[in-house]
Structures are given as structure tokens and as C-alpha cells.
Amino acid sequence: MPRWDADAEGRLLKAAMELFVDRGYDQVTVAEIAERAGLKKRSFFRYFADKREVLFGGSPAFEQAVVAGVLQAPEATPPLDAAVMSLAAAGAELTSWGEPVRLRQQVITSSPELRERELTKLASLTTQVAHALERRGVEEPTASLIAQAGMAVFTTAFELWAAADTRNFHDLIHDSLERLRTAICRRSG
């Protein structure tokens, strides 16, 4: 077996997802993933720190894209719109992968350990969005509040999409934002 197999990382990703979907995340070992990919166990660790990273390895790039989008939004863009537009663009890129992303979400939803990891990643993203808003001149605690509202809009849209909503991601996020705005503006009577 060659030292560096062609597309070893892609094969590991594919093997892991197949096994996670077939048997459940908790029932799969790194050795089994490597074997299914036609690699040795140590090859797995060249690409992933642990088996969770198969599912979360793209998080840093996603976070960078969102932060860049917030910072690059036109100056006149209201802060919530800047956050949501950036999350929408990154989310549209993510959801363009289609069924593999839905399967990934099903695997995450099926495991308490992975749900906790997802919440940690989302909290980190929320913090980074808040910092980006601060760099745009939004003061705390407003920046954190807007980042949390933007993330609520994003996660609502993503959960709808993952549950097989047929609308495109931009429509889902727009609908979620409008629902939030309507709820905020509704007068209690």
C-alpha cells in the first residue's frame, strides 16, 4: 500500500459516513473506518484528530467564511442583516452539498456526544460573529445579542433544510428572519 493514497481523506470521510449511518456513530471505531477506506488505522490520524472530526473538520473554514462575510458587508448594512446575510451565504454553500450534509446532521442528532460538540461549535461561531460585529462598531452587549439572534435564524433555517424542506437555503433563512422580525415587532395585547 502506498504511503500516501490518492484521496485518502475523501475515502475516509465516505467510509465513516457509511458506517455512521449504517451502525450509528457510537458503534463505529477508527480502525473500522480505516479498514473500510482501505487504509491502516494510523492513516486516519493523518487527516483527523479523532472520529468526531470527520463530522466537524470543516468548522474552521465555515467560521472563517462567516466572519469574512460579516466584515465585508457594506457599511450601511444593519448589523443583524450583515450577520444573517453572511450566515446565509455560508449556509447556502454548505447545503449545496445536499444529501451528505443531511446525513451528517442525522448522525449528529442521533448522538448526545455529537449534539454537545455541535453546540460547542455553534457557540464558538456565535462568539466570532459577535467579535466581527464589534469590529464593525457594534458595542457589547449588543454585538453578542445580534450574533445570537443571527445564529437562531441560521439554525432554524438549517434544521428545516435538514428535515428535507424543499425550499432553497436562502428562502429558508429569509423566512426565519422575517418570522423573528414579526415576533419582535408584534405588540402584546
Confidence (pTM): 0.87
Q: How confident is the model at residue 158 (pLDDT cuts 50, 70, 90)?
A: very high
CATH number of the domain located at residue range(s) 8-54 in this protein = 1.10.10.60
Q: Domains of the chain: which residue ranges?
A: 8-54, 58-185
Q: What is the mean pLDDT of the chain?
A: 92
Give the integer Cα–Cα distance in Å for 91 and 173.
9
SS3 at position 49: coil
pLDDT tens digits for range 22-75 = 999 999 999 999 999 999 999 999 999 999 999 998 899 999 999 999 999 999
Give the integer Cα–Cα distance in Å for 114 and 83.
25
Give 61's contacts (C-beta < 8 A, 6+ positions apart). Answer: none
Task: Give me the architecture of the 58-185 domain, per CATH.
Answer: Orthogonal Bundle (1.10)
Look at residue 4 in the predicted model and tell me its pLDDT: 52
Q: How confident is the model at residue 16 (pLDDT cuts 50, 70, 90)?
A: very high
